[in-house]
Amino acid sequence: MLFFKVEFIFSNIRRAGFRYKAKGYKTGHPKSAFYASLVMIIVAGGLFYFLLGGESATTAKELAKKQLGDAYTYHITSMATSGASGTATVTAYNKDEIKNIRVQW
């Protein structure tokens, strides 16, 4: 039953597209939606890179490294800053274990 409803909807959409095309309207894919989503992805990626890779992130990683040493790889999982102070949760991992460390500065 659901299949027939879906088929009915798509066939009507297809017919409407042909009608609009016959009247001279464009019926292609919405390029502006594609470009807008691409810009949003780039902006979000840039924000993550700059917010989690700045001076505060470096400070948090250094404080975590002082606690556990060089045997781990460090990744910032959350961070909150206010002026010159802040807190962060740093995930430290190696091939044997994973640890979450909360640091403050």
Instruction: Note down pLDDT in tens along the chain; length 105 residues.
Output: 666 677 777 777 666 666 666 677 776 677 888 899 999 999 998 888 777 778 888 899 999 999 999 999 999 999 888 888 899 999 999 999 999 999 999
Say if residues 27 and 21 touch (Cβ distance below 8 Å).
yes
Q: What is the pTM of this model?
A: 0.54
What's the order of all strands across the beta sheet hosting 98-104? Answer: 73-82, 85-93, 98-104
